[in-house]
């Protein structure tokens, strides 16, 4: 299973718990329901609010996602977008 741990620039505070990093894993097709792939590829905030709670550990809530610092949302969105690409497409984007 493909996964990546993201260290947040601005940790999430949930009561007495502070979340400093989030593991995001490659979604399965069923976890993409309710959104459009093109919206995820464009890192659409509404699409990420739907999918990220399904593929993160600790589980981010929709509220958590909507309150993320833009730099953290961008990091997570880039990982989700990367998971949707084929190996060949990823290789084409890698610097030589």
Per-residue tens of pLDDT for the chain, all 96 residues: 799 999 999 999 999 999 999 999 999 999 999 999 999 999 999 999 999 999 999 999 999 999 999 999 999 999 999 999 888 887 887 765
d(CA 25, CA 23): 7
Instruction: Establish if 69 belongs to a structural domain.
Output: yes
Instruction: Establish if 18 belongs to a structural domain.
Output: no
Number of domains in the chain: 1
Instruction: Establish if 40 belongs to a structural domain.
Output: yes
Instruction: Establish if 16 belongs to a structural domain.
Output: no
Instruction: Establish if 19 belongs to a structural domain.
Output: no
Which domain range does residue 37 map to?
Answer: 27-85
Do 72 and 9 touch, CB atoms closer than 8 A? Answer: yes
d(CA 89, CA 87): 5
Q: How far is CA 9 from CA 19, 22, 69, 74, 92, in A?
A: 11, 11, 8, 11, 29
Q: Which residue, among 4, 1, 7, has the nearest Cα to 82 in the 3D structure?
A: 4
Instruction: Establish if 36 belongs to a structural domain.
Output: yes
């Amino acid at each position: 299973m493909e996964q990546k741990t993201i260290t947040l620039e601005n940790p999430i505070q949930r009561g007495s718990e502070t979340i400093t990093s989030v593991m995001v894993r490659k979604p399965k097709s069923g976890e993409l329901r309710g959104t459009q792939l093109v919206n995820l590829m464009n890192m659409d905030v509404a699409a990420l609010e739907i999918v990220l709670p399904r593929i993160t550990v600790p589980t981010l809530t929709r509220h958590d996602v909507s309150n993320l610092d833009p730099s953290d949302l961008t990091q997570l969105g880039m990982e989700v977008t990367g998971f949707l690409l084929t190996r060949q497409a990823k290789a084409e984007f890698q610097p030589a």
